[in-house]
A = this chain, B = another copy of it.
Amino acid sequence: MNEFDLIRRYFSRLTQGGEGVKLGIGDDAAILGLPAGHELVVTTDTLVAGRHFEVHADPAGIGWKSLAVNLSDLAAMGAQARWVTLALTLEQADDAWLAPFASGFGELATLHRVSLVGGDTTRGPLSITVTAMGVVPAGRALRRDGARPGDAVCVTGTLGDAALALRRGADLDGDALRARLDRPTPRLAAGLALRDRAHAAIDLSDGLAGDLGHILRASDVGARIEADRLPASKEFLRHLSAEMSRVALQAQGGDDYELCVCLPPDALERARADLDGLPLTVIGEITVERGLRFVDGAGATIAVPPHGYRHFDE
B-binding residues in A (CB < 8 A): 1-3, 6, 22-23, 26-34, 36, 39-52, 73-74, 76-77, 79, 83, 85-87, 89-90, 92-93, 117-125, 127, 129, 131-134, 136, 138-139, 141, 143-145, 201-203, 218, 308, 310-314
Of B39, B119, B203, the contact of A44 (CB 8 Å cutoff): B119
Contact B1 A313 (CB under 8 A): yes
Q: A119 contacts which chain B residues (CB < 8 A)? A: 44
**Closest CB of chain B to A49's CB: distance in Å?**
8
> What residue in chain B is nearest A200 (Cβ atoms)?
B27
Q: Which residues of B contact A124 (CB under 8 A)?
A: 48-51, 125, 127
Which chain B positions have C-beta within 8 A of A45? Answer: 87, 120
Within the complex, what minimum Cβ distance (angstroms) separates A186 from chain B?
11
Instruction: Tell me whether A22 and B39 are in contact in the complex, defined as CB-CB below 8 angstroms, given that A29-B79, A124-B127 are known contacts.
Output: yes
Q: Which of B6, B117, B129, B308 contacts A129 (CB 8 A)?
A: B129
Cβ contacts A to B, 9 pairs, < 8 Å: A2-B310, A23-B141, A27-B145, A29-B41, A30-B43, A31-B141, A44-B85, A124-B125, A125-B127
A77/B29 contact (C-beta < 8 A), A42-B118, A120-B44 known: yes
Check B2–A313 contact: CB distance below 8 A.
Answer: yes
Nearest CB in chain B: distance from A74 CB, A: 6
Q: Find out whether the CB atom of B125 lies under 8 angstroms from the CB atom of A120.
A: no
Instruction: Determine how close the nearest CB of chain B comes to the CB of A133; give it in whole angstroms.
Output: 7
Taking CB as reference atom, which chain B residue is nearest A48?
Answer: B124
